[in-house]
Each structure stands twice: as C-alpha cells, then as structure tokens.
Amino acid sequence: MSLFDFPDGREGYYGPYGGTFLPEILSSTIEELRACFAECKRDPAFWQEYVELMESYSGRPTPITFLENLSNHLGGARIFVKREDLNHTGSHKINNVMGQGLVCRRLGKTRVIAETGAGQHGYATATMAARFGFRCRIYMGAVDVARQRPNVFWMERLGAEVVPVTDGQQTLKDAINEALRDWVTHMDDTHYVLGTACGPHPFPEMVSYFQSIIGREARTQMLAAVGRLPDRVYACVGGGSNAIGIFQGFLDDPEVELIACEAGGRGPGRGNHAARIAYGDASVGVAQGMKTFFLQDEHGNMWPTHSIAAGLDYIGVNPILVHLWEEGRVRFDAATDDQVREALRLVMRTEGLIPALESTHAFAVAIAEAPKLGTDEVILVNCSGRGDKDIFTIAEALDDEGWRHFIRDKARSYGA
Ligand SMILES: *Cc1c(COP(=O)(O)O)cnc(C)c1O
C-alpha cells in the first residue's frame, strides 16, 4: 500500500502529521493545486513527459558509483553513491522544480515564487522559470544571501529577482513566511514552488512524488550492479526531500534499512544544531502550513538553528519521514559539523568526489557505520548535491588560511 493512499480518509495526513494549515484566503488556491496535481498523478503520460524532460534537460538517469577506495580504506561494507550531484544546477532540487514547472503550466499561471536557504532551490527555480518562460521572485534570508553569494549571482543572471529577508533569524524559515505572504497577495497568477517535502498538503506528497525518481532509478541500478538490494540507504535530511526521494525506491523492502541523517551542528542543546529527531530536542507543533516536529520552546517560539550546511539549517521536518520514524521504518541519526569536515576530507582524497556539505552528513554517518559491517554488505549513500557552491564555507571550515584570503579577495572583486 502506498503512503499516499490515505486509507483513513484523512488526505494529506501521515499518522497525525501533515495536513493543510493555511490562512482561509489561500484555500481556493491550495484546492486548485491539489486537484491539478491529483490529475497529473492519475495521468501516465504526465510521468512520462516528466521523465523525458529530466533525461533531456538534467542528464537523468544519474549514475550510481562504487566507492572502491573508500570502501577498502574503511574495511567494511561496500559503499555505493547515487549521483544526484550530476544533475543540472548541481543537486536533486531540479527534480522537484521541473515537475512543479509542468504543474504550473497546467494551472495556467505565469509567475513563480520560491524560498531558498542554501540557494540551491532558488537557483534551480530560476533555471526552471527561464526555461518555461515564467516570471520569478526568490525570497532568501539575508544571512543566507551573504553566505551563498555565487547562487545569488546566478539566480539574478537567470532573470530572477532575489529579495533578501531581514525578519527573524534571516534564514530559511523567515524566507518561507515571506513567500507565503507574497502568495496570499498574488494567488491569481502565481504558483509557489516550495523547495522541500514540507509545508501544507499537497506539497509534501507532490515534492515526494517528483523526488521518487531518485529511488526508482537507484533500485533498478543497484539490482543491475550488485544483483541485490542494498542493506542500508543513507540520505541527509533538511526538509527531507532527497531522503524521501531515495527511500521511496525501498519502502516496500523491509530488509533495506533507511537512515535519515540530520545536522548535528555543534552537538545537542538549544541553538547548536538542526537535528529535530536524532537529538530528541524537538516537539510537535503547527507552523508553516503543516503539523510536524519543530525545534521550539514550550510556547511555540522557534529555536535558532545551526549547521555548517545552510541547506540543512531548518526548524521543521518532513511529516512523512516523522511518520515513518514512528512506524519504525526509518532510523534517524545526526552528524556534527566536525564529523562532516572529516568525512568531506576523506571522500575528496580517496574518491575525487566533492559532495555538498549537506550530502556529506549522509556520508559521515555511513563512514561511521561502514567499518562495523561485513565486506559482503552493501550500502548506498545519496549524494544530494555537489560541493562547488560551498567553496567559501569549505575553505573556512577546513581552515585553509591562504585560500580563504584568496577567495575573499575574488569574491569582493565580483561584487560580494
Ligand atoms: C537543499 C539541499 C538539501 C536539503 O534538502 P532536503 O529537502 O532535505 O533534501 C540537501 N542537499 C542538498 C545538496 C541541497 O541543496
């Protein structure tokens, strides 16, 4: 049975989580979106059109790569990687935005808005808007605008308007609130391209649907490469879209363990991390259109969060993953900033791959566990994106003095 059958008749609910918690004024727009997406889903030609678009435009299917050197170095399980970093625009985000572009076109809308944290979703949305001919505005926390300068540069070149958000902590959750405000005033011509499997129904389901392309491919590819399914699948979790994307390929195979890897930051404690489930610091609440676990105090005030990876720095989490965790189907773990720095060094040096800092959280947990497994065991890590965008943060994180100055000078001369 699919997660999206809603057997108890509560559409958009995963156990007690999910739902549609929005101002009344948005109810007709969200209903219109729900109906349009339901129609797309029922139409086999729609999925076909989507797959063909992703093949011709984003290089799908992305390959899986066997990390032989890293596996030998660790001396345990054989490690495979699903290469979402090889997508156009450098991450899995494009899977979601191109799909929503098709939905937007079917809705007859001509303008898209989006929130962005690490900038990857904004960059992907600006790309999609250029391709489909939509007007585009991106909301981004002012702190993130500063730390993800190259993505801002490209979004603007691609024709999007980037609006820095100076409310609150000036990060992702503030950008989401601002995007919702925009939507309320421009519903007639505007589609809100939500970037992760969060927010009001139908977004968690719709984003999961498009990201399921990762898991569908990976399942077939693992069977072809090793003749069986992996024992474990690791994915990092910000909002939770790349994780639910790859996990959907293996949900009905109980022998495959699914591990969601959160941002452990500086470790447990208020303001130090974004590990909603792994550190047990979060509680159930309703915000940003959905019911799920949030990092918040007892009055519902959101905690500040911290991660070395801007894309994981978020207070809430995908309600579907929370439900799967409560059902015992998904295990949550976290990697700290320090573990991520170590893992990144190791992956770069042994394999010549540069995963995004977000994706490196999945590598870090896998690297910690692989040596405890036998050499006959097989694990799969989702490399959600490539690390080029993180050049400033990585230079700083790896404490590379000389390069840090060089990069700062370059950034200044390029307008940052
Ligand atoms: C945005 C992003 C993430 C986090 O988002 P999810 O919705 O949790 O997948 C992870 N990795 C990369 C490379 C990203 O750009």
Between residues 9 and 111, the one the model is more confident about? 111
| Residue 379 pLDDT greater than 60, yes or no | yes
Residue nearest atom 3 in ligand 1 by C-alpha distance: 311
What is the best residue among 92, 261, 262 to mutate for testing ligand 1's pocket, by most ligand atoms within 8 Å of CB? 92
The rounded distance, in Å, linking the Cα atoms of 273 and 281 is 10
pLDDT of 313 higher than 90: no
pLDDT tens-digit map of 211-231: 999 999 999 999 999 999 999
Phi and psi at 14, nearest 5°, equal: -120, 100
Residue type, 148: Q
Tell me what the mean pLDDT of segment 382-391 comes to. Answer: 91
- Residue 93 CA: nearest ligand 1 atom is 15
Once rounded to an integer, what is the mean pLDDT over residues 393-405? 72
Instruction: Read off the pLDDT of each residue in 28-49 and give the average, rounded to a whole number.
Output: 97
Residue nearest atom 10 of ligand 1, based on CA coordinates:
358
Instruction: Give pLDDT tens digits for 162-196.
Output: 999 998 888 888 898 999 999 999 999 999 999 99
- At 44, the amino acid letter reads P
CATH no. of 60-90+213-413 = 3.40.50.1100
Average pLDDT (228-249) is 98
Most informative mutation of 93, 94, 151, 305 for ligand 1 (most atoms within 8 A of CB): 93
Q: Are 274 and 307 in contact (CB under 8 A)?
A: yes
Domain 60-90+213-413 in the same topology as domain 20-55+93-203: yes
pLDDT, residue 415, reads 52
CATH number for the domain whose boundaries are 20-55+93-203: 3.40.50.1100
Q: Predicted confidence band at 95 (pLDDT cuts at 50, 70, 90)?
A: very high
Atom number of ligand 1 nearest to Cα 237: 8
DSSP 8-class letter at 301: P
So what's the pLDDT on residue 58? 98
Whole-number pLDDT of residue 290: 97
pLDDT at 404: 67
For position 10, what pLDDT does the model report?
A: 93
| Burial state string for 244-273 with b = 16 or more CB within 10 A and e = fewer than 16 | bbbbbbbbeeeebbbbbbbbbbeeeeeebb
pLDDT of residue 410: 67
Helical (H) or strand (E) element with 330: strand 330-336
Q: Are 413 and 111 in contact (CB under 8 A)?
A: no
What is the domain partition of the chain in residue ranges?
20-55+93-203, 60-90+213-413
Q: Tell how far CA 410 is from the center of its chain.
A: 29
Residue 82 pLDDT > 80, yes or no?
yes
